[in-house]
Structure 1
Amino acid sequence: MNVLNQIKIGFAPTRRNIFSADAAIEFAGKTREQLDSIGVNYVDIQEVNDDGLLYDDAGMEKIAAKFKAEHIDGLFLANENFGTEYECARLAKQLDVPVLLWGPKDEAPAADGSRLRDTQCGLFAIGKVLRRFQIPFTYLVNVDVDDPEFERGVTDFIKVCNVVKTFKNTRILQVGTRPFDFWSTMVNEGELLERFNISLSPIPLNELVDEIHSIQKNADPEITETITHLKDIADIDISEKDLNMVAALKVALKHKMKEYGCNAGAIQCWTALQDLIGILPYASESLLQDEGMPVTCETDIHGVISELLVEAATLGTKKAVFADVNCRHPENPNGELLQHLGVFPFSTAKNRPSLPKSHFVFDYPGSVAFEAKTGNYTLCRFDGDNGKYSMLMGNAKAVAGPYEQGTYLWLEFANLNRFETKLVYGPYIHHIAAVTDDVVPVLYEACKYLGIAPDFYDPIEDDVQAYLRGDITSIVK
């Protein structure tokens, strides 16, 4: 499966009249060939004029209309000679999507000193005019089209587009209110909608319970399918009745998310739910996370947004664990426990998971127990208060630690004190999402399009910028 295909890019190669049109056409063709070889899903403009290039108002209007009709997720301005900077800016202004700016490296001058393209100089001009139009953009350094940095830059940009698209199209099913004791998870619903187009679909717990009873009464076949799947992937230590309820809850949550057009959810996981259905929701949530429909506990709206963003940065190839930051490692001074009541996807288990008879805090079935996979993790927390929003991000690696109940992961940080202090001072809380991939640069670059501030718990911003301009290949040491 080509994961790049889920994002559609508008490809707009540009030229300026005083430089060689033939050279610009040639290099636009080379760029198309490279995009094809990478597997990029792009909308072309070859039919807008004889050159298939952006350089005048008439062409720009046709291109804008086509890209709008195609609902592109990002715009690729490929400067194939000097480029026409004001047409690039006018086009980008109409589309309101992330913008990638790049041009192929200029060849050596001819024997008589003449030059055909002057691409790099034009990149400087385009960047300046994009700023005048107040258009955020991503710059891919001036390298040859067959340079490995070109493929990496285009791929990372597609990931950025996926983060932005996910963020701007998020609707969250909110099942119940937040638990009274959890003041830390309160959010400003109106502000999320007004500033970010993130909407909530609140429903009472009873509506979910009615859906559970309905699908159980009608013997929904997905309940049986879910039970079979659970028995295949986990050791089951709960009764058949409780297992049926775990499956029914998962199916009911899925139905409600689809009914309300939601891509994620958050639920008041205790204690009213247990009074109504007799189980904890964690195994059901873990199943949904593996299906790309994450649901967080304690009605943590900002938490499930964090999950969506960090998974989108991997183009959905990795599922996020959603964890409480719990306590320090008993021996490792930079070690920290990430644990949860059960909201880790089953696919993240290091060994075979289990559904224990009861939870170690709540005396109910429905939780999950396993240690998460080893590896290098990217951690992410979107949060805000007092009208300001930011995204905390950074890396840590899995390390050995004592056995814990529930789902858990021991991580080693470069400096645990820095991480701990960030969480205490906020605006973050003790819930965080993490994936086994290095996507910090992608999240950092996406922030400029989301209108939120990037924030690091380690002093790595210089390394992130070095990666983005092609000076280093990874920020993970």
Structure 2
Amino acid sequence: MARFILGYAPTRRFVFSAEDAYRYKVLIREKIESFGLDIDIVDLEGLNEEGLLYDDLIGAEAIIERFRAAKVDAVFFPHCNFGTEDTVARVGKALGVPVLLWGPRDEAPLEDGMRLRDTQCGLFATGKVLRRFNVPFTYITNSRVDDPVFERGFVNFVGAAHAVKAFRELRILQIGPRPTSFWTMMCNEGELLERFGIELHPITLVDIQRATRKIEQHGAPGLDEAIAYIKETLDTTEVTDEAVRRIAALKVAMKRYATESKSTAIAIQCWSSLQEAMGIMPCLANAILTDEQIPVTCETDIHGAITSILAQAAAMHQTPTFFADLTIRHPDNPNGELLFHCGNFPVSLSVEQAKGEKPKLRKHFLFDDHSPGTHEGEIRGGGMTIVRFDGDHGEYSLFLGRARGIEGPYTRGSYVWIEVNDWPLWEQKLVEGPYVHHAVGIHADIVPVLYEACKYIPGLQADPVDPTEQEIQAWLRGSIQ
């Protein structure tokens, strides 16, 4: 992903203190830089003497030109006093990126009764005009610069804008059609393109087989590194060196296709034609690529790949996702559930690696040919978010819920047991749809982030189960901690 670029457009109005507005312009910029986010900021310095948005007659076009040239991914309009609402709306409308609206809380009137800023009043005005211009926006409660609610709202907005940026740039490398019996993996390619601009780049299993064989036999950039990673990181005693080389070659071939097609995610038909043709399972190759922030989903789950990109970007690429089956309920915990897949969870998440041990590279335990290629073992628990993008009948929604890892019985494959607030509620929502038995997990709390991101994706409805929509909104307002 290219670096995230934020347009910083502080605004004032002529009838209030220009000096105080300038002071707040500097204070707010210093504060957001102190949050430690990996973003670039493009401001208004040099466009006028103040570096503030305040004169609509000469201001809007110059600001739009600068931000377009910088390719900003979002724009922040801090109201340093009442602000100039018409220019804010024109700029926001022209850019078509996520918009953040906030202003610092006003001080008490001066001894002579005069007020310096009237920021809150201006926020009411700008919110109305943005609506008139049909500009979706995020609002943070009018609060002081050092108030935790400002930092909370700002960081949440940047994460949401990250997710929107990734969603708008989505192209998925599709390797093979869905498995014949998996009707749940049907998707409407034309509708994804028409509705969301999501592109698929399909290739056949023959294409990936030929590319893998060529790399395995003749070598390629990245092959030796992939082999070394597998042997150094995993216990490979159950498989042959030939299998390790082929798995590494598959990983290199998949990454090459993704890079050349400018795809940010991959969906692969992982069984059963692939192992019959190549003698390996792709699970470990999927795991390694997911660890490298190119998430790979099994069984040609296109909607799962979309989910993975949204979750990964919402966490600002700080941790990988894992793609799982929702499989069985915990034998003892009524709110417990097993998240599992054959062997595709990122190696960096494994419990063994956290202990300084080597997780196992094994042969598949279900299929009759028992092909090698599965990364097996438990992954770490802790807090996480479970997400699923899905839809049918032309309507799409994003399931969102919090979970935490818990103890549970050993099982084969990649797995983690989780506990949620009310599993029967989750189960009902998942079964009644439009969801399926696949979900994406990530070790980050991104429910409020993705809830906010849906505001900027027309046709996608946030569907939070824990916390609820009302609880998310209250948390963002600062009404609850």
Q: TM-score, normalised by structure 2?
A: 0.95
Number of the residue aligned with 2:254: 253
SS at the partner of 1:173? strand
Amino acid of the structure 1 residue aligned with 2:371:
Y
Q: Give 1:354's aligned residue.
A: 360
Distance across 2 between alignment mates of 1:53 and 1:248: 54
Distance 1:322 1:366 in 2: 16
Answer whether contact 1:266 1:298 (CA < 8 A) is retained. Answer: yes
Q: Is the Cα–Cα contact under 8 Å of residues 251 and 285 in structure 2 kept in the other structure?
A: yes
C-alpha displacement of 1:412:
1.0
CA contact (8 A) 2:402 2:467 kept: no
- 8 Å CA contact 1:418–1:458 kept in 2: the answer is no
Letter in 2 for 1:242: A
Q: Distance in 2 between matches of 1:360 and 1:470?
A: 49
The secondary structure found in structure 1 opposite 2:157 is helix
SS of 1:332's equivalent in the other structure is coil
| 1:28 aligned residue | 25
The one-letter amino acid of 2:48's match is N
The AA in structure 2 aligned to 1:29 is: V
Equivalent residue, structure 1, for 2:270: 269
Take 1:57 and 1:99, find their aligned partners in 2: how far apart are those partners?
Answer: 22
Would the aligned equivalents of 1:170 and 1:199 in 2 still touch at CA under 8 Å? yes
- The 5 A counterparts of 1:375-454 are 375-451=382-458, 452-454=460-462
The answer to whether structure 1 residue 365 and structure 2 residue 366 are counterparts is no
2:361 partner amino acid: L
Q: Equivalents in 2 of 1:163, 1:393: separation in Å? A: 14
1:432 alignment partner, SS class:
strand
Amino acid at match of 2:47: V
- How has the CA–CA distance of structure 1 residues 459 and 157 changed in structure 2, closer, same or farther, with 3 Å as cutoff? closer
Contact 2:281 2:364 in 1 (8 A): no
- The ranges of structure 1 where at least 4 consecutive aligned residues each deviate by more than 3 angstroms after the TM superposition are none
User: Which residue matches 1:10?
Assistant: 7
Distance (Å, rounded) in 1 between the aligned partners of 2:291 and 2:225? 15
The number of residue pairs the alignment matches comes to 470
1:46 maps to amino acid = E
- The aligned residue for residue 355 of structure 2 is none
**Hey, what's the Cα distance between the residues in 1 that align with 2:467 and 2:312?**
23
What pairs up with 1:177-192 in 2 under 5 angstroms? 177-192=177-192
| TM-score (normalizing by structure 1) | 0.96
Give the aligned residue type for 1:456: P
Task: Give the unaligned 5+ runs of structure 1.
Answer: none
For residues 396 and 107 of structure 1, what CA distance do their matches in structure 2 show?
Answer: 41
Q: Distance in 1 between matches of 2:3 and 2:69?
A: 17
1:60-99 map, 5 Å: 60-99=60-99
Matched residue type, 2:104: P
1-side partners of 2:9 and 2:47: how far apart?
11
CA RMSD of aligned residues (A): 1.4
Q: What is the Cα deviation at residue 225 of structure 1?
A: 1.3
Indicate conservation of the 8 Å contact 2:384/2:442, yes or no. Answer: yes
Percent identity over the alignment?
48
Tell me, what secondary structure is at the counterpart of 2:374?
coil
Contact 1:359 1:365 in 2 (8 A): no
Equivalent AA in structure 2 for residue 415 of structure 1: D
Whole-Å separation in 1 of the counterparts to 2:419 and 2:180: 33
State the alpha-carbon separation in 1 of the partners of residues 282 and 155 from structure 2. 37
Deviations 1:88-138 (A, max 9, x none): 111100000000101111111110110011000101111111111111111
* CA distance in 2: counterparts of 1:167 and 1:343, whole angstroms: 23
Q: Is the 8 A contact 2:159 2:313 kept in 1?
A: yes
Asked if 2 retains the 8 angstrom alpha-carbon contact of 1:169 and 1:198, the reply is: yes
Residue 308 of structure 1 and its aligned partner are, at CA, apart by 1.1
Task: State the alpha-carbon separation in 2 of the partners of residues 156 and 457 from structure 1.
Answer: 19
Instruction: For residue 459 of structure 1, report the CA deviation from its aligned partner.
Output: 6.0
Shift of 1:357: 3.1
Q: How many angstroms apart in 2 are the aligned matches of 1:458 and 1:101?
A: 26
Residue 372 of structure 2 aligns to a residue whose secondary structure is coil
1:4-47 residue CA offsets vs partner (Å, 9 max, x unmatched): x9321100111111112222112112122223333452101021
